[in-house]
Chains A and B, each alone.
Chain A
């Protein structure tokens, strides 16, 4: 129950930060994808089930606020959360290499799916342009921010874990 509340608060804070403060800190017109980092972290730290749940909630939140079509972002984020859940078995606390690598790959997958649904379907074929203009800066910026954000999330996760152990 406690974990549930913590995760909901995490999602809300990341969403608000991503849509507001980071818009002011945008580099090269790109903002870091905090919700994606959150989804990847959930998948990595807690396994497939939580990864896909967190992804679904994050995506749905975006859908409700920005989406033309409900469910599209929810699907993308859920897929990313689920796939990252497979890496739960190689999860090592305090290790930063794997999560950063995963965030990078996930952001790429996210960009690709985003491109397919938002641009390819209306006949914009020049993927290279979109990759250089939106994809690549997005990956770099998100990965850079994930170094800090992942550490914070890891600390919160450890705390909640300890709390649960005590309760049991």
Chain B
């Protein structure tokens, strides 16, 4: 270490050179975003399979851990259940009635959803953003599976986000809770328009923001918000969530509210991508 033969560069100079390089990079990537995306795609193509490989190991391990913990739980549960056999048989009857009711509700629910007939592709989440929450994450499907930028991503029965970047075998999804996300929404019952804004700070308490609701809109807490037909990227009628805390703005023209997303962003493992793009407006 002391007997170094190479020429010695002053670290200070090296630091300033590096900093300058960074600033140039920042500038270039601001200015020519599209031109740099092939480079990012190439890096992603190399990294993604490695992450996928490690992920499969991690998944196997966590599955095993889950199995062990659930085994213990099951043993305990079994003990207590044995004691409750008599009550259970009674509860079972009530549950059965509930089940019929649930089936009926589910049928109704399906009819309600317009997006059931969009073509969809399933994908697995391979990594989350380094800085916590699923505000942006990557999935294991890419152009090979027909994924393209601006396709809508859903999970369960609600909107998750939109494809922001796509590689050969991966794609990056920006979720609706991301601070830079804006979705134009519409109240399903009254067709009043609004804007749904992602907000990580609000999401800490499980909600995101909704603004620009017209003063005259006849809405109240619990109303469903779906994606609006006037949105240029989101397909119409995808459930976003339910509003609450409706308050009038100080300008007395609009109202703001909070929205509870239909998707639990803490636990997303599989998502569905709608492989149909909203038709762009062409002159």
Contacts and interface: CB of A to CB of B under 8 A. Distances in A.
Given A64-B39, A122-B180, A168-B3, A20 B58 contact: yes
Contacts of B130: 18-19, 31, 33, 62, 66
A20 B51 contact: yes
Nearest to A129: B201
Interface stretch (B15-23, B144-152, B218-226, B275-283): B15-23
Contact of A16 (B30, B50, B132): B50
Most buried by A among B11, B129, B133: B11
B11 A65 contact: no
A69 B43 CA distance: 15
A40 B131 CA distance: 19
A35 B159 CA distance: 33
Contacts of B132: 26, 29-31, 134
A68 to B, nearest CB: 8
A118 B50 CA distance: 28
A23 B19 contact: no
A11 to B, nearest CB: 12
Interface stretch (A47-55, A101-109, A143-151): A47-55
Most buried by B among A19, A63, A69: A19
A21 B54 contact: yes
A70 B26 contact: yes
Contacts of B3: 168
Interface in B125-139: 126-133, 136
B55 interface: yes
A19 B133 contact: no
A56 B47 CA distance: 18
A71 B204 contact: no
A126 interface: yes
Interface in B10-36: 11-12, 14-15, 18-19, 21-26, 28-30, 36
Interface residues of B, number: 48
Interface string A120-158: 001010100110011000000000000000000000000
Nearest to B57: A21
A23 B52 CA distance: 13
Contacts of B15: 48, 52, 78, 82
Nearest to A46: B1
Contact of A19 (B11, B21, B51, B266): B51
Nearest to B36: A70
Nearest to A125: B201
A71 B58 contact: no
Given A24-B58, A82-B15, A129-B204, A69 B131 contact: no
Contact of B26 (A72, A114, A126): A72
Contacts of A130: 201
B44 interface: yes
A92 B49 CA distance: 39
A74 interface: yes
B179 A17 contact: no
Contact of B47 (A17, A24, A49, A65): A65
B9 A49 contact: yes
16 contacts: A16-B54, A23-B127, A30-B132, A47-B11, A52-B14, A64-B43, A64-B44, A71-B22, A71-B24, A78-B18, A78-B19, A85-B11, A126-B201, A134-B131, A134-B132, A168-B3
Interface of B: 1, 3, 9, 11-12, 14-15, 18-19, 21-26, 28-30, 36, 39-40, 43-44, 47, 50-51, 54-55, 57-59, 61-62, 126-133, 136, 179-180, 200-201, 204, 266
Given A61-B43, A74-B18, A78-B19, 17 more contacts: A15-B47, A16-B54, A18-B130, A19-B127, A20-B126, A20-B127, A29-B266, A48-B14, A49-B11, A49-B14, A52-B14, A64-B40, A70-B40, A75-B23, A78-B22, A82-B11, A134-B131
Interface of A: 15-21, 23-24, 26, 29-31, 33, 47-49, 52-53, 56, 61-67, 69-72, 74-75, 78-79, 82, 85, 114, 118-119, 122, 124, 126, 129-130, 133-134, 161, 164, 168
